[in-house]
Structure 1
Amino acid sequence: MSKPEIKKIAIVGPESTGKSTMSAYLAGHYHTVWVPEYARGYCEKLTEPPTWQDEINMFHGQIALENELLPQANQILICDTTFITVKIWSDEMFGKSPKEVLDELPKHPYDLYLLLNIDLPWQDDPLRDFPHMREHFMEVWYKELNDLNANYVLISGTGQDRYESAVAAIDGFLSDSPR
């Protein structure tokens, strides 16, 4: 009997929406692994703002990390963000995106995206830059997901309600998916 295809679930949204915390929770709930945000570790080592080459490096790093962890997944792979973030940040900081990112976006789909709403309070973090632009980036996320014709669910609420909404979205998706 062959191993069923792993479904990739992306946890996305603007800064300070609880993506990493949600990813860890969902991985525990579904007894699987989650792919951390590669850019976080990368940017922690930088002494200057990210360059164009840094954005390209983060794109490649995110894909490599995902590919490395995929074989360890149990039915689903939870991804704490995706390289769409590289496109969003490049567009914001440089006015355009690296060609390799644009070329790969339609070729690297996720089965379900959970778009985390900006209804959580802002948490300061040295790697977060735009507390005053959360609404803007929420609209950018909507546009990017719609441009990809992505299957996504908006996850709102706080505390356990937020987690339960995410689990309900994934359970609904899995029950509708062919095995």
Structure 2
Amino acid sequence: MNKTDIFKIAIVGPESTGKSTMSAYLAEHYRTVWVPEFARAYCEGLTDTPTWQDEINMFNGQLALEYELLPKANKILICDTTFITVKIWSEYTFGKAPQEVLDELPKHTYDFYLLLNIDLPWEHDPLRDFPHMREHFMDVWYKELRELNARYELISGNGPERYANAISAIDKFLATQ
């Protein structure tokens, strides 16, 4: 099986919507690997707010991690977020996104996106900054996915219901392929 036979499923959404937990769960369910969010580990090593260069580094790191794990995937590669997050944070923080991110967006596609809803309670984390802006960033995610003409489904619910909704959405997507 080569990398073109693998469906890339992106798990996206605002902060504190359970992307990492969902990604790990889905990878186990589908017996495949998942690509962790590179920015999380990267930002844990920073002593200050991410700079423009840090955003570019996170973009490159996310792509490299995805390429590294793609050959290990079993029909599906689950991606805990994508480098679209770099675009979103850069535009919010700096008023624009790095050109290399903008250039790569139309070329580096995902087959299906699960947009995780903000219906989970906010959980504090030192790397999360915007509990009061969840609705704003949810709107941004809708806009980004529409601009990409992405195929996606909104995933809501708590606990087992949320996981079941995600599995159902992926299974429906796979059935059409």
> Hey, what does 1:24 align to over in structure 2?
24
Q: Does 1:62 align with 2:62?
A: yes
1:12-161 matched pairs, under 5 angstroms: 12-161=12-161
Within 1, Cα distance between the matches of 2:125 and 2:94? Answer: 22
Note the alpha carbon deviations across 1:128-173, whole angstroms, 9 max, x for none. 0000000000000000000000000000000100000000000000
Residue type matched to 1:46 in 2? L
Runs ≥4 in structure 1, deviation > 6 angstroms?
Answer: none
- CA distance in 2: counterparts of 1:44 and 1:101, whole angstroms: 22
Distance 2:114 2:165 in 1: 10
SS in 2 for 1:107: coil
Letter in 2 for 1:121: P
- C-alpha distance in 2, partners of 1:152/1:87? 19
Shift, 1:126, TM fit:
0.2
CA distance in 2, matches of 1:116, 1:95: 25
- Provide the secondary structure at the position in 2 that maps to 1:78: strand
| Matched residue SS, 1:115 | strand
**Unpaired stretches in structure 1, ≥5 consecutive residues:** none
Q: Identify unmatched segments of 5+ residues in structure 2.
A: none
* Cα deviation digits, residues 35-59 of structure 1 (max 9, x gap): 0000000000000100000000000
Q: Which amino acid aligns with 2:141?
A: W
What is the alpha-carbon distance in structure 2 between the residues aligned to residue 103 and residue 35 of structure 1? 22
Query: Aligned residue pairs: how many?
Result: 176
Local SS of the residue matching 1:106: coil
Taking the aligned partners of 1:175 and 1:146, their CA distance within structure 2 comes to: 23
TM-score normalised according to structure 2 size: 0.98
In structure 2, give the amino acid aligned to 1:16. Answer: S
Equivalent position amino acid for 1:82 in 2: T
TM-score by length of 1: 0.97
Match of 1:168 in 2: 168
Q: Distance in 1 between matches of 2:139 and 2:174?
A: 27
Aligned CA RMSD, in angstroms, stands at: 0.8
Offset at residue 112 of structure 1 (A): 0.2
User: Structure 1 vs Structure 2: percent identity of aligned residues?
Assistant: 76
